[in-house]
Amino acid sequence: MHIDFHESFLPSYIPRAIVELCLQEHISEDVIFAQLELCIQQLRDPHFKLTYSEMSILVGNCLSALDLNQLSIKVGQHIQLKDLGLIGQLLQHCPTLKDALYVLERYSVLIDPALWFKVEKDQDYFVIRYRKMIPLGDIYQYSQEVISILLIRLLSQLFDIENLQLHFEFSIPSHAKQLHFLPCSMSWNQPETQLIIHDPKHSSNIGQAVSSNSSSEFLQLKQQAESQFKDFFRVKKYWIFRVLSLIHSHLHQPLKAEDLAALLFTSRSTFFRKLHVYHTNYEDLIQQVRMDFASKYLLQNKGTVSHLAYTLGFSHPSNFIKSFQDYFGMPPKQWQNSQFETIALLD
């Protein structure tokens, strides 16, 4: 199944904020909008939507132009509540941290459809799991740092919270000391990126708002968010984008259908029924996403076939090779060589 993402359907809040940062850093618009027929005036329109292709190129241009050593810090500190659209307004009026975490978990798609949040409550702490659900390659680590910085900064700004612990899933970077401004302890090489907020009082209302909020405004904004959320999942393109993004984010260990359906706030039967509209099934989608990832990996000549196989969750390289051959008609190495030959001829 092929999904065309060349229609405008993605919110431009975060890309616009990153572009504004680049302009502040004196990066020219020619660099920012290279390969795109866009301009800053369009992005500044609050109703403007981007295509998936435009978003990928635009963000890629910006991130490539910024200094990587300062990338996550600059982006994470630059984004403000106003850059989160309706959800930014809603967060400002949340009476407790518990409400804010619910808002992030349920409505993050209204900020960026490729964002994923999951909040778990234990007796004395909240665990917030999050990630960017599209393949970002070498800049994935920076995306996790950006979300972490933004999350800690905005929640600390809005709520009286302390005892924060941040786990990163990657090795300690060379710029780790530059992250010490964050009011939390940090650890590296963890199974998953998480923010842990301890609650020694076992309070369900952990983290009272720093400023007084109107409950009527909160409820009104929440109704608006719920309406937009439902509209989001009525649009087929949004929905299938979310499905493919979730599969991308769990390539190493694919989710069970019922678990993925739960992350889409729908039932297993509804999930399968909606997939039927696309004349596909869950297993075929997983295969499509895996093979799409594999083809990009091989074209970029990133590493060995064995490493690729385990990255994609195959128990043995031979299983991956057979699956790849069934999909592309030839083994990975042969396919890779044929692609390089074609590129050489075109050059």
**pLDDT averaged over every residue in the chain:** 85
Q: What is the mean pLDDT of residues 2-13?
A: 69
For residue 74, give every residue at least 6 positions away whose Cβ sits within 8 Å of its Cβ, in sequence order, or none. Answer: 21, 25, 66, 67
pTM of the model: 0.73
pLDDT for the residue 214: 63
The span from the CA of 147 to the CA of 72, in Å, is: 9
Q: Of 20-29, 46-55, 229-238, 262-271, which gets the smallest average pLDDT? A: 229-238
Backbone angles phi, psi at 217, to 5 degrees: -65, -40
What pLDDT shows up at residue 207? Answer: 47
SS3 content of the chain, % helix, strand, coil (to 5): 55, 10, 35
pLDDT tens-digit map of 161-211 = 888 999 998 889 888 999 989 999 999 988 889 999 986 454 444 445 555
Span 84-125, pLDDT tens digits: 989 999 999 999 999 999 999 999 988 888 788 889 888 788
Say what percent of the chain tops pLDDT 90. Answer: 41
Measured distance CA(120)–CA(126) in Å, rounded: 6
- In this prediction, residues 284-300 reach a mean pLDDT of 84
DSSP state of 208: B
Alpha helices in 25-174 (DSSP H): 29-32, 40-43, 52-65, 68-78, 85-92, 97-107, 140-158
Q: Please enumerate in sequence order all residues whose Cβ is within 8 A of that of 32, keeping only pairs 6 or more positions apart, or say none.
A: 19, 22, 23, 58, 61, 62, 65
